[in-house]
Amino acid sequence: MRTSSIYRVLVLLIVATLVLTSCKVPGPALPASTDPNENEAVAPTETLPLEQIAETIESPTPTVIPPTEIPIVENRLPPERWQEWPVVPELTGREKAIYQYGLALGNDPKSFSKVGDCQAIKQVLMGIYDQPSRYTITEQNAFLQETIENFSGSFNRDGQAVRGGFNTAAVLSPVWADPEVCQPGENPIECENRVHNPSFVIISLEVWWAGRTVERYEEYMRTIIEYYLDNGVVPILSTKADNVEGDHRINLATARLAYEYHIPLWNFWLAVQSMPNHGIDPNRDGFHISYEAWTVRSFTALQALDAVWRGVRDETTADLTPVATPTPDVAFAEVAISPAPASPAVVAGNPRLVFSLEQRSGEASQNLGVFTYDLATQALYQVLEAGYQLQDVDPSGTKLLVSQGSKLSISDPNGNITVVTDKLAVTGRNASAFWLPDDLRLLVLTAEGENQAVWLVDPANDNWTQVAAGQISGLIKPTGDTRFFWYQGLCPAEAACEDNTVWTNGAKGPEEFLGQPNLALSGTGLEMAWVENTEDTTQILYIGATDKSYQNYLYLPGNRAVALEWSPDSSDVVLLSKTRDDYTGKSGDARIFVVNPAVMNQLEYYAFPGLNPRVAWNTAADQLFLTSTLAADDGSYQLLFRQMNLGSGLFDNLDSTLSITSTDFITLDKIYWITP
C-alpha cells in the first residue's frame, strides 16, 4: 500500500518523548457485567436500553436514517457551523471512490478499525455489538443488524491504535507501538492497518492541554487522514463531547478537516447535548463522558458506520472480492553511516561485531546489507550489499549464514558467497537457519507453499536429512549435533507467534517439548531458560534442565521480555525486560538483569533506552554489547551502540566511533560479537 510523501515528512516531526495527558485517570467503579464470563463492564440492555437513550437525542436531523436513502450533500454547512451538522454523517460522494480504491488494494470490506484514546476502547465504543446478548435493536432500526453482521469481529476489539492516553502524536510514533505485535519501526496506525486490514476507520482524538496548539493537532490529523486515504481506508472523523479548551477549537478543527477532505464526520458532540451535563461525567475531570453516554456513543457510532457503509456500496462493490495489487516502489531516506563502510578487509585476530541493518519507511522495509565493525581499529566494513540479511555466524566467526529473501547462502568475511537453497522459510520469528556447533553442518527451515520442513544439512556435500515437517514458525539456535528444537504453530500478525510451542526430535520422532513461546538454550545444551509474564508488572524467569530433572524460578520486574541470552560459557543469563503500560501502551527503558543459574541470584544494571533493543555477549563472557534505536527530538532515528563491563557496570559509548542515523526508522536486525 502507498505511503504519502506528506506523511513521511510530517511523521518526522513527532517527538518520541511526548508526554500523553489524555485519559489519565481510570474511571470509577462501574456496574458489573451481566455475563459472568466477562470481566469488563459493558452497558447492559436491562439497565440502559440503547434505543431509549438514542431516541431522547434532540438534533436537527432524525436519529434513525432510513437504510434506502443515503443523501449525497454537495454543499455542507461551513465548518464554523459544525454544531449544526447532523449526528449521522452526510456523505460527499468521495467515500465511494476511497472505498473502491481500497478494495482494489486488497482491503477487507468486512473490517473496520478505530483510532482513539480511552473513549474509543471496546467497553465504551461498540464492543457490545459483538455480544448479541448485550444489545437490542428495535424494529425501526432493524436494518442496522446487517451492518453488525457485516463487521462482526471488529466491534469487540481495541486493536493496535486504541489506548488510554493516545493522541494524534502518539499514534504516529513507533514509541507507542506494541512490540509483541508490531514490526520494528511501525507506528500504531500502520501496525493496526497491517494486522486488521480495514476498509473503514473511526478516528476519535483528542484531549486538550495547555501549550498544545490547534495548529499542531491539525498537522498530525492531516498526516493520519492522508495515510488512510493513500491506503484506501475511508476515514470517519468524530467530534468530542467535552470543551476543556473553552472555545471548542478541537471540534472546529476536526470539522474543517472533514470539510476540506470531503470525508464523513460523526457529530458525537451533538448526540449528547440533551443528556445531563451534556454527557460529561460530573465527578471526574471534565473530559471523560458519563457511563450513560457510553450507550449513546456506541449507538450513534454504529449509525455513522452504517450510513457510510451503505453510501459506498453499489452493485459493483457489494460482493467484490478484493484483489491485492503490487506495492509501489518506496523512496527510502538516506542512511548516514560514519565511518563510511569500506570494502571487506577484516583483520582475523581482532574482535569485531557482525550485524545486518534494516530500514523502514511507512509500511515498506528493506535490508541494507551485512556489516562488520572492527573494535580494535574502529573501522566499519560492508560484507554484503543491500538486500542481504544476517542469519547466523559459525563458532569460528569466519563463516556467515546470510539470506536474500528466500535464498540462503554461506559467505566468508570478504563477501564471497555460496548458495545453499532458494527455499528458505521467511517466518514471523526471523530464525530460519543456524550453524551447528561442529562448524560444518546447518539446521535450515524451508518452505514450499504453506508447508515447512526442518532439515539437517551438510552444505559441502549437498546432503539433506529431514528432521520434521508441519506448521513450523522458527528455529532455536542448536547447541548440539543431534538434538534440535523449533517453534511449531501459526504466526498470525495479531498473535505475534504467542501460541507457539517448542518441539524437539525425540527417539520416536518429533514431539512437543515445552508449551512456551520463547526459549533460550545454554551453550552446553543441558539447561534452558524462558520467561512467563504475570498479570501485573512482574515476570517469572524459569531456568531448568533440558532433561526436565529440575526447574528453578526467579521473580523479576517488568512484563515484556525483549531479549534472553545465555553467556558463551553457560554460566549466566542476561534478560532485557521492559514494563509496558497496558493503559497507555508505552514501554519504558529496558532493564538489564544478569542471573547466575547456579544460585539463582541476579544483578541489575543501568537501564538501556531506545526501541528494539538487542544484546550480544562477547565470547569471554565478561562484557555485553547493547544496541537500540533512539528517536531523536527532530524526529530522526539514531542507533545506539554501548559496550558494558559486567564487573563495573559501566558503559563505553561507541557512538563517537560508529554513527548510523536516518529520518526513516533503522534497526540492527541481528548482531554477533566475535572475539577470535
Averaged over 409-433, what is the pLDDT?
Answer: 88
CA-wise closest residue to 214 among 181, 173, 259, 245: 245
pLDDT at 247 over 70: yes
| Residue of 35, 36, 42 lying closest to 295 (CA atoms) | 42
Cα Rg of the chain (Å, integer): 27
pLDDT of residue 74: 72
Nearest to 434 by CA among 384, 484, 370: 484
pLDDT for res 583: 74
Q: Are the CB atoms for 622 and 648 separated by under 8 Å?
A: no
Q: Which residues contact 325 (CB under 8 A, 6 or more apart)?
A: 104, 105, 106
Res 12 pLDDT > 50: no
More confident of the two residues 561 and 343 = 561
Let me know if 432 is exposed, middle or buried by CB neighbors in 10 A (0-12, 13-18, 19+): buried
pLDDT of amino acid 39: 31
* Nearest alpha carbon to residue 116 among 102, 108, 128, 126: 126
The predicted structure's pLDDT at residue 356: 95
DSSP structure class, residue 72: B
For cell 495547555, name the residue: 210
pLDDT at residue 189 in the model: 96
Identify the band that residue 498 occupies on the pLDDT scale cut at 50, 70 and 90: low
60-115 tens-digit pLDDT: 333 443 444 556 777 789 999 999 999 999 898 899 999 999 999 999 999 999 99
**Three cell numbers, residue 480:** 548440539
Indicate the domain borders of the chain.
Answer: 5-312, 423-517
What's the chain's average pLDDT?
83
Cβ neighbours of residue 503 closer than 8 Å, sequence gap 6 or more = 468, 472, 485, 486, 487, 488, 510, 511, 512, 513
Q: Is the pLDDT of residue 410 over 90?
A: yes
Whether 124 and 306 have beta carbons less than 8 Å apart is answered as no
Contact 229, 98 (CB under 8 A): yes
The mean pLDDT of 235-256, rounded to a whole number, is 92
Nearest to 479 by CA among 522, 518, 529, 513: 522
CB burial readout 255-272, b (16+ within 10 A) else e: bbbbbebebbbbbbbbbb
Reported as a pLDDT band with limits 50, 70 and 90, residue 665 is very high
- Picking from 279, 309, 310, 308, the residue whose alpha carbon sits closest to that of residue 54 is 279
User: What pLDDT does residue 609 have?
Assistant: 93
Record the cell numbers describing residue 410, joined without a space. 554461506
* Burial class of residue 429, CB neighbours in 10 A (0-12, 13-18, 19+): buried
- pLDDT value at residue 142: 92
Task: Find the range with the poorest average confidence among 187-201, 212-226, 252-266, 540-554.
Answer: 212-226
- Residues 6 or more apart whose CB falls under 8 angstroms from that of 504 comprise 483, 484, 485, 486, 510, 511, 513
The CA angle 64-68-71, to the nearest 5 degrees, is 75
Question: Tell me, what's the pLDDT at 621?
Answer: 65
pLDDT in tens, 528-539: 999 987 767 888
pLDDT at residue 228, rounded to an integer: 97
Single out the residue of 428, 103, 87 nearest to residue 239, CA to CA: 87
Contact (CB, 8 A) for 390 and 368: no
pTM (2 d.p.):
0.78
Handedness of CA 215, 220, 226, 229 (dihedral sign): negative
> Apex CA 464: angle with CA 461 and CA 467, to 5°?
150
Cell of 337: 553511516
CATH topology of domain 5-312: Rossmann fold (3.40.50)
